[in-house]
Chain A
Amino acid sequence: MTTELTRMTAAELSAALASRDVSATEVTRAHLDRIAAVDDRVHAFLHVAADSALAQAGDIDARRQAGERPGPLAGVPVAVKDVFTTVGMPTTCGSRILEGWHPPYDATITRRLRQAGAVILGKTNMDEFAMGSSTENSAFGPSHNPWDLDRVPGGSSGGSAAAVAAFEAPLAIGTDTGGSIRQPAAVCGIVGTKPTYGGSSRYGVVAFASSLDTPGPFGRTVLDAALLHEAISGHDPCDSTSIDAPVPPVVAAARQADVAGMRIGVVTELSGEGYQPGVLSRFAEAVELLESLGAKVTEVSCPHFKYALPAYYLIAPSECSSNLARFDAMRYGLRVGDDGTRDAEEVMALTRERGFGAEVKRRIILGTYALSSGYYDAYYGKAQQVRTLIIRDFDAAFGQVDVLVSPTTPTTAFPIGERVDDPMAMYLADLCTIPSDLAGNAAISVPCALAPEDGLPVGLHVMAPALADDRMYRVAAAAEAAFTARWGQPLIAQAKGLGS
């Protein structure tokens, strides 16, 4: 029974819990057991909150016993990226500078999960302050891809992706700034969504790049991701950038799963040099499959997409150089060098030197440079103009097609250590995902196949206009159904990394 529980999707667990075939406590125990069995190898979790998870589960069971009918996620376990504030659990953001920090308030999304009755199993590993594509920038060691433990699970939400792919949790929450949900989802063979920017609250999400950060769901199926997406989304008065509009009907769309008559655009620029051949071939097959399902496929050019990466690596570091200034040893977090002889500035500088990792320091310096007097117009200012042009490319494209598609990321999971000393190579992982972050649109990655070269998962990337999240869920669900029919089972069932 235990193995089965961890193999069930969130939708299946939800049904079983609602019909009281199984208790929330049993479900939680099963997942905690799974974590205990495999996490020493996967290292998805930085903190396992066993006691509070069981307490929450017990509470849900009591409520059901008393005749209450809590919502669909009540009793379903979820793993939370360590960038969300959680009362009663540490929040480190994968950084030494916040090691041991216990925030006094919950993120809005944490609160919504609690209100939905979801059982928070713990906090997952991530690249430090969400900067990276592999979790190798975590101060606490990388996570490992359940498909091949010597490979990265992607990043920055690699821990959340690995947890779901390793069956340690059916659902997880991450954040996507340049691709940090979709790329890990793709290389771990699961589903990951970046909702419309402003569709899910950033209150309580430790900021990396404020105009780009978007919390979103991971699941092993499109429907699971949709269920979580609906539970966490919606207007939040505590976040001024939060959109006051109804959450797009993503669950209904996931169930609809039909692309007949839909116009699908393949982005010309998101292909070519630097893309693994197997990734490109599997992507092409996926597109053919969609066509066979009745979609109309065309090629669409988005000429400014080739400037998306440089624009992103100006905007994001600029915003982060400012967002991370607060980590100065004065009010919380690490304090280094305060021996009574040093002044505040020295203590700040020593603390930040010791507390931040190399990638974070790199981006802070880069951002400081780009915002400097005399450089603003040429760098940050210019990047914001490029952003406008990318938005216009999307607008023009969505005038011709309903959704855009591309591979999610140019390669499959790369080996741990391969790119860690080559920041530019690392940045290339975000080539396909970054444009939708800059535009604030919605995008999803759904597993489409294994690459022939290495047998590792390849993700199909579907992009929709802002607030049309349901549209992409529809396409992703249709693709998933077709792929699953082709493989005979969910792709994730083929993951061999953990043995079982």
Chain B
Amino acid sequence: MPPKDYGNGLIADSLPPHRSAFPPGPTAFPPAHPKMACMSITRDEVAHLARLARIALSDAELDHLAPQLGQIIAAVAQVQEVAAEGIPPTSHATGLTNVYRDDVPIPCLGPDAALDQAPAVEEQRFKVPRILGEG
């Protein structure tokens, strides 16, 4: 499908700013007020993010990262200075839509190739350490 208006009238998203269709669940942070955008981030907040991202940061890393990230966040928070009332966000620069494939099978990898690089295999399946419950 040819892209629409590519180059000079890029079809940016016509979506209104992101809104929640569903009531959000409780989170560890209070919701941020845009004007009060966190200029600093606490060690606990970094620890929470690391848990969300499944990285077992060491204490030394946590100590080190909080101020560093605080600096970076303060810098990137500059985007909030921009008056963007009514400006649609761009998530795709190309303006393409409706790219599809036909419902026609393509040869699969085969179990040997699929499992070849796995750290552990049993009964033609990926063997993983015990899972505690819903992720």
Name the residue of chain A whose CB is nearest to the CB of B3.
Answer: A243
Q: Does A468 contact B (CB under 8 A)?
A: yes
Q: Does A252 contact B (CB under 8 A)?
A: no
Do B90 and A391 have beta carbons less than 8 Å apart?
A: yes
Q: Does B21 contact A (CB under 8 A)?
A: no
Q: Does B24 contact A (CB under 8 A)?
A: yes
A457-483 at interface with B (beta carbon < 8 Å): 465-468
Chain B nearest CB from A277 CB (Å) reads 24
Which residue from B29, B30, B80 sits with its C-beta under 8 Å from A382? B80
The stretch of A33-41, A293-301, A371-379 that contacts the partner chain: A371-379
Name the residue of chain A whose CB is nearest to the CB of B126.
Answer: A331
Complex CA gap A356/B49 in Å reads 16
Contact with A along B110-135 (1 / 0, CB 8 A): 00011011111000001011111001
Which residue from A304, A310, A374 sits with its C-beta under 8 Å from B31? A374
Do A104 and B114 have beta carbons less than 8 Å apart?
A: yes
Name the residue of chain A whose CB is nearest to the CB of B91.
Answer: A384
> Cβ of B30: which chain A residues have Cβ within 8 Å of it?
374
- Interface residues of A, dominant DSSP: helix
- Given A197-B93, A389-B84, A467-B7, do A381 and B49 touch, yes or no (CB 8 Å)? no
- Given A244-B2, A384-B89, do A347 and B129 touch, yes or no (CB 8 Å)? yes
Q: Does B96 contact A (CB under 8 A)?
A: yes
What is the size category of the interface that chain B forms with chain A? 35 or more
Complex CA gap A316/B129 in Å reads 31
The stretch of A362-370, A445-453, A486-494 that contacts the partner chain: A362-370
Which residue from A368, A389, A468 sits with its C-beta under 8 Å from B7? A468
Complex CA gap A349/B94 in Å reads 36
Complex CA gap A238/B20 in Å reads 32
> Cβ of A349: which chain B residues have Cβ within 8 Å of it?
51, 54-56
Beyond known contacts A197-B94, A325-B54: 12 more, CB 8 A cutoff? A198-B93, A211-B92, A330-B126, A338-B120, A362-B69, A377-B34, A385-B84, A385-B89, A388-B88, A424-B72, A438-B93, A467-B6
8 cross-chain pairs, A with B, having the tightest CB-CB distances, nearest first: A440-B93, A384-B89, A349-B56, A374-B31, A385-B84, A335-B119, A332-B117, A353-B56
- What residues of chain A have their CB less than 8 Å away from a CB belonging to chain B? 101-105, 197-198, 211, 237, 240-241, 243-245, 304, 307, 309-311, 313-314, 321, 325, 328-333, 335, 338, 342-350, 352-353, 356, 361-362, 364-366, 368-370, 372-379, 381-389, 391, 395, 398-399, 423-424, 438-440, 465-468
Can you show 24 pairs from A to B with CB atoms below 8 A apart?
A102-B116, A104-B113, A211-B92, A240-B96, A241-B94, A310-B79, A313-B72, A325-B54, A331-B118, A332-B118, A335-B120, A344-B128, A344-B129, A345-B135, A346-B56, A356-B55, A361-B55, A362-B68, A366-B72, A378-B34, A383-B76, A395-B8, A424-B75, A466-B93
